[in-house]
Amino acid sequence: MVVPGIAALYEFVVKGRKRLGYRVQMDTTASNVVKTQHDGPFAQLVVGTRKLEDPTIVLLRIENNGATNIDEGDYSRSHADDTGITVTFTDRNVVGAVVTEVSDTNMGSSFQNGGGFTVTENVLELPKVPMNRGEHYKVLLALERADGGKGPRQYPPPDVDCTVKGGVGGGRIQETKSRTGTPKRVLAMIGFLVAIVVAQLVIFASSGDSAPLDCASGHLRLTGSTAFEPVAREAAKSYHDLCPRASFTLEMRGSGEGLQTVDQAGRDGSATDRLTFSDGEKPTGMPGLLPRPIAFFLFTLVVNGDAGIQDLTLDQIKQIYQGKITNWQEIGGNNLPIRLISRNPGSGTRAAFQRRVLAGEREPGSNSDDCQTRDPGSPAGVVRCARDTTDAVLRTVASTPEPWVTAS
């Protein structure tokens, strides 16, 4: 992430400002180095009536290769000076110069009327040409040897002088060169990135840990509602499979007991590895617990199929739990007594059932241990019993041939 960020900053912040460049696309002798019979007009290059001494031809390209436009006022010379760029040749004099190409025809007006476009011995002066981003122009020059010597020779490249206000590298015009292969800087960066990737692979392989970088490690104890147990157990297994350094212990014995366990652990200072699931609201008297809603639960009344009942109204449910309806026949079912099985007190399911269905009225206590007959000495009425977990409630209802009704 750091390397591409630095590259982007360099490319668009440093290099991407005002930038004027030039290229010497051709600098070659016009003499017949290898004697042939086809030199034609090249052997006849003259100035006036004098034949040029060791003539050379230069093609110069001036370009805006920055990220912003360049106007006349961006050239650092005074407003009274029409010249923007000076090109000086060593040991050669300029005998002719023509503008052979402009990327925008409007640029041609900068070269008309001689303003800033002049030739003096070994110096070519170019005007302050406004150029949009990516625009360029080309100048073709004819030169001859300055010392009057004989025979071809090698000349140093021309010295191009120009400064742009607020440009890259102090605004100095820079030579740009065409490339036929991948730049060394790019190869170096690619090699560096490859080395980083290989190093990471080696580190991960040697550590023997294929877990994602955002995996947590340690042990977590999950307590609380038995209704959450199947989902919590599956989630814990999935997380452990992905992040093997994390482990879980599930102690799901009811919302009330889970909340009390975490609250007491908080008072003892040992609650950092505990999390409880409750399908009811947090009770008062536990200020240290921080509630966070995570899901909506659908509560259902489960009735044994032998009861012959498919649906119950809210009023019928209240009357059943109040003991006013004691036989399924009274509400359109079979002639069988009603027996009720519920969760133990402290269950979040039981608290939600009392609050939402029974309008806050507390459900009467249990009067049976086996869920079949009332305990001796208990008052007459509907048989009521309780179980610790949602799974125990469902198994009791399903395994008993006589009908039951329960909140699960």
- How far does Cα 54 stand from its chain's mean position? 63
Which is higher by pLDDT, 400 or 164?
164
- Kindly state the average pLDDT of the residues 12-29: 79
How far apart (Å, rounded) are the C-alpha atoms in residues 47 and 141? 13
In which element (H, E) is residue 396 found? helix 390-399
What stretches of 28-133 show up as alpha helix (H) in DSSP?
Answer: none
Query: Cα–chain-centroid distance for residue 66?
Result: 29
From 15-24, 216-225, 309-318, the region with the lowest mean pLDDT: 15-24
Is the pLDDT higher at 32 or at 381? 381
pTM: 0.45
Q: Is 353 helix (H, G, I), strand (E, B) or coil?
A: helix
Summarize pLDDT for 253-291 with one digit per residue, the tens.
888 888 888 888 888 877 778 888 888 777 788 888 888
Specify the pLDDT at position 98: 92
Count of CB atoms situated within 10 Å of the CB of 26: 14
Q: pLDDT class for 152, splitting at 50, 70, 90? A: low
pLDDT given for residue 141 in this prediction = 93
List, for residues 337-390, the tens digit of each pLDDT value: 888 989 888 788 888 888 888 988 888 888 998 888 888 888 888 899 998 888
Using left for φ > 0, alpha for ψ between -120 and 50, and beta otherwise, residue 210 falls in alpha
Range of weakest confidence among 100-104, 108-112, 120-124, 326-330: 108-112
d(CA 191, CA 185): 10
Strands 83-88 and 56-64: unpaired
| Contacts of residue 123, Cβ cutoff 8 Å, sequence gap at least 6 | 86, 87, 88, 89, 94
Pairing of strands 383-387, 274-277: unpaired
pLDDT band at 330 (very low <50, low <70, confident <90, very high): very high
* Side chain identity at residue 222, one-letter code: L
Q: pLDDT tens-digit profile of 203-246?
A: 777 765 567 778 888 999 999 888 888 889 999 999 999 999 99
Phi, psi of 267 (to 5 degrees): -70, -30
Q: Mean pLDDT, the chain, as a whole number?
A: 84
Say yes or no to pLDDT of 34 above 70. no
Q: How far apart are the first and last CA of the chain?
A: 52
